[in-house]
Homo-oligomer: A and B are copies of this chain.
Amino acid sequence: MDITKMLSGVRIDPKASAPIYLQIANSLAAKIKECTLPVGTKLLPERELASLLEVSRTTIINAYRLLEERGLVSTRIGSGTYVANLNVTDQQANDMPWEQLFSPHYKSPLSSLLRSLVATPTADETISFAAGMPDPALYDLKIIEKALVDGNHGLDAADFGYIPIEGYPPFRRSLATWQNSQGIHAAPDNILIVSGSQQGLYLIVKAFVEPRDYVIVESPTYLGAIQVLEAAGARVLCLPQSSSLDLGALEDYLIRYRPKLFYTIPTFQNPTGQVMPLHHRQELIRLAARYRLAIVEDDPYSQLYYGQQPPPSLKSLDTYGGVIYLGTFSKILFPGLRTGWVTAAPQVINRLAQEKQYVDLHSNNLSQIILHTCLADHYLADHLSFVRREYKKRRDTLAGAIRQYCSTHLDFELPEGGFYLWCNVRPPASPVELLRRSAAAGVTFVPGEAFYLNNTESHHIRLCFATLGEDRLNEGIRRLAKIFKSGTANATFPSGTAGRPLI
């Protein structure tokens, strides 16, 4: 070690504001960086350097420690302090302590379940009654070409640039017209286009719910809604499970908890398929108006009716301006459009738009242009008649297969629309045991407990009939029947609870 190289130019100014150890460390750091002290150089022992510079040994220890912290030197115990190989130091640093840096976050026991439900069903031989999605074989992808290529609606290149947060203006207008045809009085100002109704829900929760706020939901209900609410720190109140809306229980909650929102799927509910009757809708609106309760009406399925048209939406009955309506094209056209909308009072739309700006500036132009064409050309009505016929057949096929093969183990009420059969599994068979066995036999579905808060036990399973053709529906139920027959779907520990009444 050439001592002069180490010492020359090391300046100590006792009057400077920087502590002396820092002055020494900075001088040495400069020498290391300019390679006056190259990689591998052994620095003078602390005691020697201290005496040469006429400072205390602690000062040198601190200086060396700082250099080490900066990765410029490394200490080998019993040997000394050496100029470090910067690259080696970097390699050692190869992992970031990410888990320490992340903000704490809500982890739903269900989130991996939702993730796997959202994933496209695998192409293998498994028959999935699980995913709540339309059948890809029924997507009419011609509308893409019609809207984006034929461009018969006077598209301008600027339509593919930045557009208003609230949505593509022609689409907001055609959607308002369509909403009016459904009995919902809406001007374009009442509409916010969102990137799927999931985003609509997310924005609503962000705009209304602070940690510890109360929100009311039906029970069972859509698990994605529960998750967004819980992730926001909401305290979720479940209405008691019942075959009809329990307005008494609702009012009790309103008085005791002053909830921020009531989240409901009044038409072809997920998972039960139930429809809230007209007189209940009217009473709900009266009650909500009295308490100034904001209602979030999630309505993905009302266009998918297979008999009578369902009663008018809550939004169309809204006398007090408090219903926030959530619509989506994912179930009636195809999910990849990722487009839904919110219809609500302009103050609400404005506030949601402020939140949306941060989340994604505005929703996808291509999808909005396609949907505008669908609405403006009245294409949607034709497509809806087609899919209604098709899904009705599938519902009837699934119901028939269950009656034929599984009538001693499964019962259900035939839903008038939507995607799901909500089946009661008669004891001693258990939904979870059934799923375990059936997954191995190539059939999946969602066990009822996924739709309840707090691991409520459920004797139900949800079967989606929309995604599968008639052969697959029949085959799936035959596979379930085999498992029932074998007795292997029985609960390992009989729960002792009687099956709940049908809902």
- Give the interface of A toward B (CB within 8 A): 69-71, 86-87, 89-91, 93-99, 101-105, 107, 111, 114-115, 118-120, 123, 131, 133-134, 136-137, 139, 141, 144-145, 148-149, 156-165, 195-196, 198-199, 202, 206-210, 213, 227-228, 231, 260, 285-286, 289-290, 292, 294, 319-322, 334-338, 345, 347-348, 351, 354-355, 357-367, 370
Contacts and interface: CB of A to CB of B under 8 A. Distances in A.
Contacts of A131: 162
A498 B114 CA distance: 59
When all copies of this chain in the complex are counted, the total is 2
28 contacts: A70-B290, A71-B286, A96-B292, A96-B320, A97-B292, A98-B345, A98-B347, A99-B347, A101-B294, A103-B209, A104-B210, A105-B351, A118-B164, A118-B357, A133-B161, A136-B158, A160-B337, A162-B335, A162-B336, A163-B336, A195-B360, A198-B359, A198-B361, A199-B359, A336-B364, A336-B365, A338-B363, A364-B366
B337 A366 contact: yes
A202 B149 contact: no
Contacts of A354: 105, 107, 111
A364 B361 contact: no
Contacts of A358: 198, 202, 227-228, 231
A89 B319 CA distance: 10
Given A96-B345, A162-B119, A367-B366, A90 B139 contact: no
Contact of A360 (B159, B160, B338): B338
Contacts of A196: 360-361
Which A-B residue pairs are the 4 nearest by beta carbons?
A336-B365, A136-B157, A160-B336, A90-B319
B98 A348 contact: yes
A286 B161 CA distance: 39
Contacts of A364: 195, 336-338, 364, 366-367
Most buried by B among A133, A137, A357: A357
B319 A338 contact: no
A361 B322 CA distance: 27
Contact of A366 (B69, B93, B336): B336
Nearest to A91: B319
Contacts of A144: 148-149, 366
Given A93-B319, A118-B164, A137-B157, 10 more contacts: A89-B289, A90-B286, A94-B345, A102-B208, A118-B162, A118-B165, A120-B162, A120-B163, A144-B366, A160-B337
A165 to B, nearest CB: 7
Contacts of A160: 136, 139, 141, 334-337
Contacts of A95: 289, 292, 320-322
Contacts of A338: 360-365
A86 B133 contact: no
A134 B90 CA distance: 39
A107 B358 CA distance: 12
Contacts of A134: 161
A252 to B, nearest CB: 12
B86 A286 contact: yes
Contacts of A337: 160, 364-366
A260 B97 CA distance: 12
A156 B133 contact: no
A209 B358 CA distance: 15
A285 B71 CA distance: 12
A357 B158 CA distance: 30
B206 A103 contact: yes
A292 B148 CA distance: 47
Nearest to A155: B141
A428 to B, nearest CB: 35
Contacts of A156: 136
A32 to B, nearest CB: 12
A485 to B, nearest CB: 33
Given A103-B210, A148-B145, A94 B362 contact: no
A363 B195 CA distance: 8
A84 B74 CA distance: 65
Given A93-B319, A361-B196, A161 B347 contact: no
A365 B196 CA distance: 12
A131 B366 CA distance: 21
Contacts of A286: 71, 86, 90
Nearest to A117: B162
